Structure 1
Amino acid sequence: MSRQDRSSTSSEAAADEIDLLTLFRTFWRGRLMIGSAVVAAILLGGIYAFVLATPTFRATSVVVLETRQSATTGLESVLGALSSDSETINTEVEVLKGRELMGRVVDELNLIQDGEFNGSLRPKGLISRIKSSIFGEDEQTAEEAQRIKDGVVSALLDGIQIRNVPNSLVFQITVTSTSPVKAAKIADTVAKLYINDQLRVRFEANEVATRWLSDQVAEQRAAFESLDEQVRDFRAQTSVINGETLAAMDRQLKDTRRRIEQMTSESGELNIRIAGLPADAPTSRRMQLTNDLSRMQEQIAALTEVERTLAADFDRQSQELTRLEQLAREAEAGRLLYEHFQTRLKEVAAQQGINKADSRVLSQAVIPSGAAAPRKSMILVMSALLGAMAGAGLVLVREMRANRIRSSQELEAFTGQLVLAQIPQLKQKSSKDLIAYLARNPASAASEAVRNLRTSLLLSAAELPPKVIAVTSSVSGEGKTTTSVALAQNLTHMGKRVLLIEGDVRMRSLNHYAADVPDERKTISAALTSQAMLAEVTLKLPNIGDVILGAKSQINAADLFSSPRFAELIAEARAQYDIVLIDTPPVLVVPDSKIIAQQTDGVVFVTRWDSTTREQVAESLSQLKNVRVNLLGLVLTQVDPAGLKRYGYDAYGAYYGNRYYTQEG
Structure 2
Amino acid sequence: MNCVPEQENTEAGLHLRQHYEAQNLGLLTGIWRQRRMIAGLAIGGLVAALIVCALLPNRYTSEAMIQVDLGRPTTVQAGQPGQTAAASLDAGAIVESEARVIRSRAVARRVVTDLRLQDDPDFAPKPGLLSHLRNAILALRDDEPAADAAAIEVERIAAAISQNLSVTNDARAYLITVAYTAPDPARAARLANAFVEAYQRNRLEMGIAEAERASAWLESRIGATRRELEQAETAIERYRQEANFVESGTASNLPQQELRDAQLQLVAAGQTRQAAEARLTRAREVLAAGGVPSAQDLTGAPVIQRMLENVETAKREVAGLMLTGPRHPRLLQAQVAVQDAEQRLRQELDRAIGNLESEVRTATAEEAALTSRVEALKGAVIGAMGQEAKLRSLQANAAAIRDRLKLLSDGHAQALALAGMKSSSAQVVMRAQPVPAPSGPKRPLIVALSTAGAAGFGVALSILLARRDTGFRSSHEIAGETGVRCLSMIPQITTGSDPAAVRMFDEAVRMVGATLGWPHAQVSPQVLLVTSCVPHEGKSLLCMALAKLLAGRGRRTLVIDATGTQPARPGKDVRSLEAAVAGQQAEILDDLAVRPVAILRAGTGTEWADHLLGERFETFLALARDRFDVVLIEAPPAMLVLDVLPLARLSDAAVLAVRWGRTPRRTVAATLQRLRDLSIRVRGIVLTQVDLDQHRHERFADQCSHFAAYRPFYEAGSARPRLGPGQEAAPAARSAALRGPEERPRGESPEIRPQASV
| TM-score normalized by the length of structure 2 | 0.51
1:536-566 Cα offsets, whole Å, 9 max, x none, are 575122xx35x48579999943334698757
Aligned to 1:18: 22
The partner residue of 1:67 within 61, 67, 70 is 70
Give the distance between the partners of 1:585 and 1:212, measured in 2 at CA: 100
Structure 2 SS opposite 1:631: coil
- Please say if 1:558 is aligned against 2:558: no
Structure 1 SS opposite 2:683: strand
Q: Percent sequence identity over matched residues? A: 21
- Please say if 1:374 is aligned against 2:441: yes
The partner residue of 2:458 within 365, 382, 391 is 391
Structure 1 SS opposite 2:684: strand
Aligned to 2:553: 494
Aligned to 1:191: 196
- Please say if 1:540 is aligned against 2:594: yes
Give the distance between the partners of 2:540 and 2:136, measured in 1 at CA: 75
- Please say if 1:172 is aligned against 2:177: yes
Aligned to 1:289: none
1:134–1:580 Cα change, 3 Å: closer
Contact kept, 8 Å, 1:457 with 1:632, in 2: the verdict is no
1:477–1:389 Cα change, 3 Å: closer
Structure 1 SS opposite 2:594: strand
1:470-512 Cα offsets, whole Å, 9 max, x none, are 14223666553443233222233235x3433537397899986
Give the distance between the partners of 1:567 and 1:17, measured in 2 at CA: 48
Give the distance between the partners of 1:623 and 1:212, measured in 2 at CA: 96
Aligned to 2:492: 424
Aligned to 2:95: 89
Written as runs of structure 1 = structure 2, the 5 A alignment for 1:648-659 is: 654=707
Aligned to 1:74: none
The partner residue of 1:470 within 518, 521, 528 is 528
The partner residue of 1:106 within 108, 112, 127 is 112
Contact kept, 8 Å, 1:29 with 1:648, in 2: the verdict is no
1:624–1:173 Cα change, 3 Å: same
Give the distance between the partners of 1:548 and 1:348, measured in 2 at CA: 115
Aligned to 2:272: none
1:593-632 Cα offsets, whole Å, 9 max, x none, are 4334345442222345688676765554333323443323
Give the distance between the partners of 1:653 and 1:24, measured in 2 at CA: 21
Aligned to 1:629: 680
Written as runs of structure 1 = structure 2, the 5 A alignment for 1:593-612 is: 593-607=644-658
Give the distance between the partners of 1:519 and 1:567, measured in 2 at CA: 11
Structure 1 SS opposite 2:180: strand
Letter in 2 for 1:603: A
1:447-485 Cα offsets, whole Å, 9 max, x none, are 541332223431466976623251422366655344323
Aligned to 1:452: 508
Letter in 1 for 2:558: L
CA positional deviation for 1:33: 2.7
1:355-380 Cα offsets, whole Å, 9 max, x none, are 75433222333433444443222222
Report the RMSD for the aligned CA atoms in angstroms.
5.6
Unaligned 5+ runs, structure 2: 1-13, 75-83, 224-405, 719-730, 734-758
Range that drifts further, 142-151 or 501-510: 501-510
- Please say if 1:48 is aligned against 2:102: no
Give the distance between the partners of 1:153 and 1:506, measured in 2 at CA: 74
Give the distance between the partners of 2:570 and 2:664, measured in 1 at CA: 27
Written as runs of structure 1 = structure 2, the 5 A alignment for 1:156-167 is: 156-167=161-172
1:465–1:653 Cα change, 3 Å: same
Aligned to 1:514: 572
1:561–1:387 Cα change, 3 Å: farther
1:243-263 Cα offsets, whole Å, 9 max, x none, are xxxxxxxxxxxxxxxxxxxxx
1:200–1:12 Cα change, 3 Å: farther
Give the distance between the partners of 2:578 and 2:413, measured in 1 at CA: 134
Range that drifts further, 413-422 or 104-113: 413-422
Give the distance between the partners of 1:591 and 1:202, measured in 2 at CA: 93
1:379–1:11 Cα change, 3 Å: farther
- Please say if 1:122 is aligned against 2:125: yes
Give the distance between the partners of 1:104 and 1:569, measured in 2 at CA: 104
Contact kept, 8 Å, 2:561 with 2:602, in 1: the verdict is no
1:306-340 Cα offsets, whole Å, 9 max, x none, are xxxxxxxxxxxxxxxxxxxxxxxxxxxxxxx9xx9
Contact kept, 8 Å, 1:480 with 1:583, in 2: the verdict is yes
Contact kept, 8 Å, 1:415 with 1:618, in 2: the verdict is yes
Written as runs of structure 1 = structure 2, the 5 A alignment for 1:26-41 is: 26-41=30-45
- Please say if 1:155 is aligned against 2:214: no
CA positional deviation for 1:63: 1.3
Give the distance between the partners of 1:588 and 1:208, measured in 2 at CA: 90
Give the distance between the partners of 1:193 and 1:598, measured in 2 at CA: 96
Contact kept, 8 Å, 2:577 with 2:601, in 1: the verdict is no
1:37-66 Cα offsets, whole Å, 9 max, x none, are 333333334433431x45433322111122
Letter in 2 for 1:368: V
Give the distance between the partners of 1:205 and 1:498, measured in 2 at CA: 112
| TM-score normalized by the length of structure 1 | 0.57
Give the distance between the partners of 1:590 and 1:101, measured in 2 at CA: 78
Aligned to 2:431: 364
Aligned to 1:483: 542
Give the distance between the partners of 1:612 and 1:450, measured in 2 at CA: 23
CA positional deviation for 1:182: 1.9
Written as runs of structure 1 = structure 2, the 5 A alignment for 1:268-283 is: none
Written as runs of structure 1 = structure 2, the 5 A alignment for 1:303-382 is: 357-382=424-449
Letter in 2 for 1:422: I
Give the distance between the partners of 2:133 and 2:157, measured in 1 at CA: 25
Aligned to 1:57: 60
Give the distance between the partners of 1:190 and 1:90, measured in 2 at CA: 16
CA positional deviation for 1:134: 13
Give the distance between the partners of 1:96 and 1:581, measured in 2 at CA: 87
Aligned to 1:318: none
Contact kept, 8 Å, 2:655 with 2:686, in 1: the verdict is yes
Contact kept, 8 Å, 1:506 with 1:557, in 2: the verdict is no
Give the distance between the partners of 1:637 and 1:189, measured in 2 at CA: 75
CA positional deviation for 1:567: 8.0
Give the distance between the partners of 1:188 and 1:476, measured in 2 at CA: 75
Give the distance between the partners of 2:535 and 2:215, measured in 1 at CA: 106
Contact kept, 8 Å, 2:493 with 2:505, in 1: the verdict is no
Written as runs of structure 1 = structure 2, the 5 A alignment for 1:139-154 is: 141-154=146-159
Aligned to 2:291: none
Structure 2 SS opposite 1:68: coil
Unaligned 5+ runs, structure 1: 1-9, 72-78, 220-336, 429-436
1:35–1:414 Cα change, 3 Å: farther
